[in-house]
Amino acid sequence: MKYTRLTKQQLEELHQEFINFLVTQSISGDEWTQLKAEKPHVAEDELDVFSDLIWEGVLSRVDYLENVSARQMHLFELTDKEMKLISVKIMNPDIDLTTELGFNWFKKNWQSDFVEYLTASKAYTADKNLDKFNLIQQGAVITKGDLYKWFDSMID
pLDDT tens digit sequence for 31-48: 999 999 999 999 999 999
Domain ranges of the chain: 8-60, 64-155
CA 82 from chain centre, in angstroms, equals 16
Q: Report whether pLDDT(21) > 90.
A: yes
Q: Report whether pLDDT(152) > 90.
A: no
Closest by alpha carbon to 50, among 13, 82, 87, 78? 13
pLDDT for the residue 84: 97
pLDDT for the residue 5: 95
Closest by alpha carbon to 65, among 2, 124, 131, 153? 131
Q: Report whether pLDDT(151) > 90.
A: no
**Residue 3 CB burial class (10 angstroms; 0-12, 13-18, ≥19):** buried
pLDDT for the residue 154: 81
Q: Report whether pLDDT(119) > 80.
A: yes
Question: Cα separation of 106 and 147, whole Å?
Answer: 13
CA 153 from chain centre, in angstroms, equals 23
For residue 112, the 8-state DSSP code is S
Q: Report whether pLDDT(109) > 80.
A: yes
pLDDT for the residue 52: 96
